[in-house]
Amino acid sequence: MPEHRSTAAAPSAAADGGATWNLRHGSAAAVRDDTCSCFAVVFSFWLFVSMTMMLGVYGSMTIVLGPKSSIVYQPNPFFVQSVKVENLEEKPGPGPILYGTYKYPPLDVVSTWGETNNVSLPSGSHKEWKYYLNKGSAINISYHVSSRSSSVFVIIAQGTDSLTRWLEDPTEPNTTLSWNVVHGTGMITQEISWSSSYYVALGNLDEDVEVALNLSVRALMHNTTNAYYKCALTNNQCSLNIFFPEGSAAVLNASNEWHVKLSYGPRWVTYVFGIGGLTLLVFWAFNILNKLQCAHEGREGFRSEGTEPQRAPLLSQKDDDLSSWGSSYDSLSQDEEDLDFLPGGPIDGKFLGDGETSNNTKRLCAICFDAPRDCFFLPCGHCVACFACGSRIAEAAGTCPVCRRNMKKVRKIFTV
């Protein structure tokens, strides 16, 4: 019987160890899967942000330069390494000029220019002109409508969005910077309070009409006297390097109308180290949090596994089966050898009386070594303690100290 119990306990311990190893192995695999997923998601996110910066915020664009235009581009030096401007037209005359300055140049150069446009407007049509004007500039529009019975719209719109809203509803006055319904002869004056592209447009909802427009513009241009870089875009392209980390400004001046393409050269060091560094940072933080969570779960599991096996019976628990409830004396005779490991046990099935003494300690209670063994446990039938100690064992542990089976009752043995 002792050999049988030891053999049964060993597979149980091995099974518990295998279950613990499988649990930890599964947790480690789950952590690896979560970490790889986190790395892929974070890397994809920062790659998307970088592509948005390079192709969206600092993507190439086509610019229409009007007469006496002066535009400043001051990109972030952490993301942009160079500014490249390419001329898209081949025509005589002085072309645009790209300047490079250490800081934002002042708007203190005044230039006046004008032009005249004679337009024939059919019914339901419009005509527009685009100019780039800096803050502080002013525009005067003198008009003459050929038919006194006809009226036309004369508007000044800031940007493409404002012009589009006006084209959708020409009779709405709040969509543009300046909105006028004119006929005959007159003049319109508008001060510019923000550097941007502006449209001067005519609209006709009546019969066909001819309109003469005379534009007079007082433009403010950027001062490029202290420029450290100058390149004319007559038939080639110009590239300006942006200082890091101070930055610099690119000034594009044009005396006539030109179409140019502007593009930015990315600072690859920022994108490479930015994507890699931020990805590793988030990856490291996620990995640390994952390990802390797994360690916490492991401690909780260790506590539960450390306490339960001590109370688990070595034999399968079938105590509820009434067929296992045999005689206490039968069980006592069958498990006599199992009691040898305890300090005391029954001898020849007899117990000492209360007043008797003996040097044979096997007849005394294995718990207190004071009183004789005068009780047995149900359903196993083991007799190893006095009735007082047996009652305390039943109330505290609830399992037999010999076979670890659940105790149903404690019966007292009366000597006659």
pLDDT digits (tens, 9 = 90+) for 193-208: 999 999 999 999 888 9
Inside any domain, residue 275:
yes
pLDDT, position 33: 65
Q: Are residues 226 and 109 in the same domain?
A: yes
Q: Are residues 203 and 347 in the same domain?
A: no
Closest CA to 154 of 112, 187, 132, 123: 187
Q: What is the DSSP letter of 193?
A: -
**77-83: average pLDDT:** 91
Structure tokens at 213: 């427009």
Inside any domain, residue 181:
yes
pLDDT, position 8: 42
Inside any domain, residue 66:
yes
Residue 217 is part of a domain; what is its CATH number?
2.60.120.380
> What range does the domain containing 350 cover?
322-412
- The C-alpha angle 250, 251, 253, rounded to 5 degrees, equals 150
pLDDT, position 202: 94
**269-283: average pLDDT:** 81
pLDDT, position 221: 94
The more confident residue out of 219 and 407 is 219
The more confident residue out of 98 and 150 is 98
| Sheet arrangement for strand 138-145 | 107-121, 209-222, 138-145, 185-191
pTM over 0.95: no
Inside any domain, residue 51:
yes
Q: Are residues 340 and 381 in the same domain?
A: yes
The more confident residue out of 21 and 380 is 380
Q: Are residues 198 and 307 in the same domain?
A: no
SS3 106: coil
**250 within 8 A of 98, measured Cβ to Cβ:** yes
Count the helix, strand and coil residues of the chain and give each as a percent rounded to the nearest 5: 35, 30, 35
pLDDT, position 231: 92
Residue 403 is part of a domain; what is its CATH number?
3.30.40.10
Between 108-112, 169-173, 217-221, 350-354, the lowest mean confidence (pLDDT) is in 350-354
The more confident residue out of 319 and 112 is 112
Q: Are residues 129 and 163 in the same domain?
A: yes
Q: Are residues 151 and 238 in the same domain?
A: yes
Q: Residue 332: pLDDT band by 50, 70, 90 thresholds?
A: very low
SS3 194: coil
Q: Are residues 305 and 339 in the same domain?
A: no
The predicted-structure confidence for 141-176, as pLDDT tens digits, reads as follows 999 998 888 889 999 999 999 999 999 999 998 999
Q: Are residues 185 and 228 in the same domain?
A: yes
**44-68: average pLDDT:** 85
Sort 240 into a burial class: Cβ within 10 Å, 0-12 / 13-18 / 19+: buried
What is the count of structural domains for the chain? 3
Inside any domain, residue 316:
no
Q: Is the pLDDT of residue 279 over 80?
A: no
pLDDT, position 360: 57
Q: Are residues 158 and 294 in the same domain?
A: no
Inside any domain, residue 302:
yes
Q: Residue 364: pLDDT band by 50, 70, 90 thresholds?
A: confident
Q: Is the pLDDT of residue 365 over 80?
A: yes
pLDDT, position 67: 87
The more confident residue out of 99 and 278 is 99
Inside any domain, residue 247:
yes
Closest CA to 50 of 285, 284, 277, 239: 277
E-assigned strands of 102-241? 107-121, 125-133, 138-145, 152-158, 178-182, 185-191, 196-204, 209-222, 229-232, 237-241
Q: Are strands 152-158 and 125-133 parallel, antiparallel or unpaired?
A: unpaired
Q: What percent of the chain has pLDDT over 70?
A: 75
pLDDT, position 185: 92
Q: Are residues 114 and 248 in the same domain?
A: yes
Query: Cα–Cα distance between 216 and 158 in angstroms, integer?
Result: 18
pLDDT, position 352: 41
pLDDT, position 27: 53
Strand partners, 265: 82
Chain mean pLDDT for the chain:
78
Q: Are residues 142 and 74 in the same domain?
A: yes
**87-115: average pLDDT:** 88
pLDDT, position 12: 44
Q: Is the pLDDT of residue 340 over 60?
A: no
**310-323: average pLDDT:** 45
pLDDT, position 29: 58
Q: Are residues 227 and 371 in the same domain?
A: no
Inside any domain, residue 317:
no
